[in-house]
Amino acid sequence: MDFNVVNLRLQLAVTHGLGAGETPYENTGAIAKVSERSEVKMFTAIVMGASDRDTAMNACSKVAITQSKFESLEVAFAQLYPELELFIGWGMNAQNLKGNAGRMRQGIVCLPVHEALAV
Walk along the chain (119 residues) in steps of 10 and give the mean pLDDT of each run: 65 84 92 95 90 96 96 96 88 64 60 61
Task: Give Cβ neighbours of residue 51 (< 8 Å, ≥ 6 apart).
Answer: 87, 88, 89
Calpha distance 11→92 (Å, rounded): 11
In this predicted structure, what is the pLDDT of residue 1?
35
Calpha distance 9→27 (Å, rounded): 14
42: Cα separation from own chain's centroid:
10
In this predicted structure, what is the pLDDT of residue 90?
74
Kind plus residue range of the DSSP H or E element containing 111: strand 111-113
In this predicted structure, what is the pLDDT of residue 17?
87
Calpha distance 18→81 (Å, rounded): 9
In this predicted structure, what is the pLDDT of residue 2?
40
Q: Is the dihedral of CA 36, 40, 46, 50 positive or negative?
A: positive
